[in-house]
């Protein structure tokens, strides 16, 4: 394979001639060290400990989802308390999560980490940031997947030795800092977009709470609203189709095709012989995922098709409720809370006999149309922001591939050594 001038072939791939290849062990002052294995309790209070999925996004956010309180309080001198700048690597998890890596920027000496993570403490901060980013790049992920291949047990595992011996391409510290600055700027943009989306979602929920209850009326509307139970204005379409006996190739929506919390469809599939029984839906039906309702999976159908039987096909009474307003009703916090009163613990499903008694207030059809238009506009604004966020994330991934392999240089080799 030809290598262009100024580059060289190494065991980590093609890199610039002035970059080195080193093993991770040469960059760390401590670790990898496994975390602490403690018993978690629902109402326990004790040592705050990161949850196993804390590294999955590549960033650790200290909130209720990433911090659990374990039953036994550790000695504050324990070595499994994290320091700011420590890097955590998932040593055992699913193939998608094993090896995912995050840097800890929280307060030192407060938070512990679980046994299925390994902690690394680096000699230099820029080296910690370099490894953290490289580990989550496509090259880094390939190494971890390979390192976990062939491990025994039910879950893929990475040994401490394989982590210590991980080969890394390494520019000098000046170029490391330049690359880190670029990524910090992109991360700041991503963080700002995420916060804006959260704020817009909160505003929409507040708007729904007021508009769908009549606490706030749009200009030009007055008159009393009518209280209705959901079962009086909505029916569940029960028509089924068996792909094993019907013609294949039908437009089909599974639960994974409905995006959480946005009302958007991420994709679809086509029915094939051998598929399980499917529910039939028509244009303007509202699809609602009854399995784990708290995932907030709902979609206003824009065409006819089939869907998983784990999805309710809700049909609004055409004389009482418009479909666009039904979509807004099932997306409210109040409805999701009611729908989450489920049966089954491992695979909780919403019970229609419970949800059909959910009470909502109904204005006239004209006011429903006006309310739905306002909320739909807010949804459209959120969709634009979500698309911008996704595009920025994709750009960051492309930048990682270019900058962390030296394909694109921020400084010339001469400048880097000046």
Q: Is the confidence at residue 413, as pLDDT, over 60?
A: no
Question: pLDDT > 70: what percent of the chain?
Answer: 93
Q: Quote the pLDDT of residue 57.
A: 72
Contact by Cβ (8 Å): 21, 12: yes
Tell me how far apart the alpha carbons of residues 79 and 334 are, in angstroms, rounded to a whole number. 44
Q: Is the confidence at residue 41, as pLDDT, over 70?
A: no
Q: Is the confidence at residue 239, as pLDDT, over 90?
A: yes
Give per-residue pLDDT as tens, 209-222: 999 999 999 999 99
Tell me how far apart the alpha carbons of residues 316 and 235 are, in angstroms, rounded to a whole number. 7
CA 240 to chain centre: 32
Contact by Cβ (8 Å): 202, 239: no
Nearest to 162 by CA among 177, 143, 176: 143
Average pLDDT of the residues in 265-272: 90
Three-class SS state of 81? strand
Q: Is the confidence at residue 64, as pLDDT, over 70?
A: yes
Tell me how far apart the alpha carbons of residues 81 and 84 are, in angstroms, rounded to a whole number. 10
Name the residue with tokens 């437009």. Answer: 251
Highest mean pLDDT among 22-26, 171-175, 292-296: 22-26
Residues 6+ apart with CB under 8 A from 319: none
Give per-residue pLDDT as tens, 324-339: 999 999 999 999 999 9
Q: What DSSP letter does each residue of 28-40 carry, written as one string?
A: EEEEEEE-B---B
Tell me how far apart the alpha carbons of residues 403 and 405 are, in angstroms, rounded to a whole number. 5
Tell me how far apart the alpha carbons of residues 390 and 189 are, in angstroms, rounded to a whole number. 12
Burial 272-292 (b: 16+ CB within 10 A, else e): eeebeebbbbeebbbbbbbbb
Q: Give φ, ψ of 403 to 5 degrees.
A: -80, -35
Q: Is the link from the previous residue into 224 a cis peptide, with omega within 30 of 0?
A: no
Three-class SS state of 327? helix
The token pair that represents 185 in the structure block: 């700027």
Beta-carbon count within 10 A of 202 CB: 10
pLDDT band at 39 (very low <50, low <70, confident <90, very high): low
Which of 110-114, 195-199, 381-385 is predicted with the least confidence, judged by mean pLDDT? 110-114
Average pLDDT value over all residues in the chain: 88
Q: Is the confidence at residue 307, as pLDDT, over 60?
A: yes
Average pLDDT of the residues in 351-372: 94
The token pair that represents 388 in the structure block: 């911008």
The token pair that represents 333 in the structure block: 């916090």
Average pLDDT of the residues in 168-197: 92
Which of 69-83, 110-124, 367-381 is predicted with the least confidence, judged by mean pLDDT? 69-83
pLDDT band at 404 (very low <50, low <70, confident <90, very high): very high
Q: Quote the pLDDT of residue 274.
A: 74
**Could you give the domains of the chain?**
22-170 (3.90.220.20), 172-222+370-418 (1.10.287), 226-362 (3.90.220.20)
Average pLDDT of the residues in 110-122: 89
Nearest to 98 by CA among 132, 62, 61, 146: 146
Instruction: Identify which has the larger pLDDT, 23 or 41.
Output: 23
pLDDT band at 196 (very low <50, low <70, confident <90, very high): very high
pTM: 0.78
Tell me how far apart the alpha carbons of residues 113 and 311 are, in angstroms, rounded to a whole number. 37
Contact by Cβ (8 Å): 207, 378: yes
Average pLDDT of the residues in 60-73: 73
E runs forming strands in 268-339: 269-270, 278-281, 286-289, 298-300, 305-307, 311-316
Q: Is the confidence at residue 195, as pLDDT, over 90?
A: yes
The burial of 370, by beta-carbon neighbours within 10 Å (0-12 exposed, 13-18 middle, 19 or more buried), is given as middle
pLDDT band at 15 (very low <50, low <70, confident <90, very high): very high
């Amino acid at each position: 394979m030809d290598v262009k001038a100024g580059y060289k072939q190494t065991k980590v791939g093609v890199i610039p001639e002035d970059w080195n290849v080193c093993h991770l062990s040469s960059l760390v002052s401590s670790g990898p060290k496994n975390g602490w294995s403690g018993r978690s309790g629902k109402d326990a209070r004790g040592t705050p400990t990161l949850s196993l999925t804390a590294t999955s996004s590549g960033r650790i956010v200290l909130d209720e989802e990433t911090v659990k309180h374990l039953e036994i309080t550790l000695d504050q001198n324990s070595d499994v308390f994290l320091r700011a700048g420590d890097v955590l690597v998932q040593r055992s998890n699913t193939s998608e999560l094993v090896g995912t890596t995050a840097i800890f920027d929280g307060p030192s000496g407060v938070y512990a980490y679980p046994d299925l993570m390994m902690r690394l403490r680096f000699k230099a901060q820029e080296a910690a940031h370099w490894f953290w980013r490289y580990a989550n790049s496509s090259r880094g992920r390939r190494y971890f997947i390979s390192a976990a291949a062939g491990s025994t047990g039910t879950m893929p595992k990475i040994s401490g030795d394989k982590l210590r011996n991980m080969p890394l391409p390494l520019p000098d510290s000046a170029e490391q800092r330049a690359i880190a600055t670029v990524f910090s700027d992109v991360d700041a943009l991503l963080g700002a977009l995420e916060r804006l989306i959260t704020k817009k979602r909160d505003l929409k929920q507040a708007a729904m709470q007021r508009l769908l209850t009549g606490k706030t009326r749009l200009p030009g509307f007055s008159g009393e609203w009518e209280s209705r139970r959901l079962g009086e204005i909505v029916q569940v379409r029960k028509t089924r189709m068996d792909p094993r006996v019907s013609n294949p190739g039908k437009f089909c929506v599974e639960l994974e095709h409905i995006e959480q919390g946005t009302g958007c469809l991420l994709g679809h599939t086509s029915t094939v012989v051998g598929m399980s029984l499917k529910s039939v839906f028509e244009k303007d039906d509202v699809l609602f995922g009854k399995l784990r309702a708290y995932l907030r999976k709902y979609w206003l159908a824009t065409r006819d098709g089939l869907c998983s039987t784990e999805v309710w096909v809700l049909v609004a009474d055409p004389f009482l409720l418009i479909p666009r307003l039904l979509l807004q009703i099932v997306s409210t916090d109040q409805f999701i809370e009611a729908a989450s009163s489920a049966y089954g613990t491992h695979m909780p499903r919403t019970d229609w006999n419970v949800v059909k008694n959910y009470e909502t207030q109904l204005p006239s059809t004209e006011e429903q149309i006006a309310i739905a238009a306002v909320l739909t506009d807010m949804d459209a604004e959120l969709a634009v922001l979500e698309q911008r966020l996704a595009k920025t994330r994709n750009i960051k991934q492309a930048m990682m591939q270019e900058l962390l392999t030296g394909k694109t240089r921020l400084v010339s080799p001469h400048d880097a050594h000046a």
